[in-house]
Amino acid sequence: MTSTDDLAPTDDPRPDGLRRADSLVVVNTGNGKGKSSAAFGMMIRAIARGWNVAVVQFIKSGDWNTGEEKIARQLGVDWHAFGEGFTWDSDDLSNDRAHAAAGWAKAVETMNAGKHQLVIFDELTYLSSFNWLDISEIVSAISNRPSHVNVIITGRDAAPELIEIADTVTEMREVKHAYQQGIRAMRGLDY
At 40 the pLDDT is: 97
- Other beta carbons within 10 angstroms of residue 27's beta carbon come to 26
The domain in which residue 66 lies consists of 21-172
- Indicate the number of domains in the chain: 1
Is position 10 within any domain? no
Given a contact cutoff of 8 angstroms between Cβ atoms, the answer to whether 61 and 148 are in contact is no
Write a three-state SS string for 120-139.
Answer: EEECCHHHHHCCCCCHHHHH
User: What CATH number does the domain containing 47 carry?
Assistant: 3.40.50.300
At 189 the pLDDT is: 80
At 15 the pLDDT is: 83
Is position 161 within any domain? yes
- Percent of the chain's residues with pLDDT above 70: 89
CA gap 134, 131 in Å, rounded: 7
For 38, left (φ over 0), alpha (ψ -120 to 50), or beta?
alpha
Is position 133 within any domain? yes
Is position 4 within any domain? no
Count CA atoms closer than 13 A to 80's CA, side-chain side: 23
At 16 the pLDDT is: 84
At 146 the pLDDT is: 98
CA gap 5, 173 in Å, rounded: 29
Higher pLDDT pick, 145 / 2: 145
At 71 the pLDDT is: 95
Given a contact cutoff of 8 angstroms between Cβ atoms, the answer to whether 38 and 28 are in contact is yes
Segment 113-135 mean pLDDT: 95
Is position 186 within any domain? no
Is position 185 within any domain? no
Is position 102 within any domain? yes
Tens digit of each residue's pLDDT (9 = 90 or more) over 5-22 = 678 888 888 888 888 999
At 181 the pLDDT is: 86
At 92 the pLDDT is: 65
Is position 116 within any domain? yes
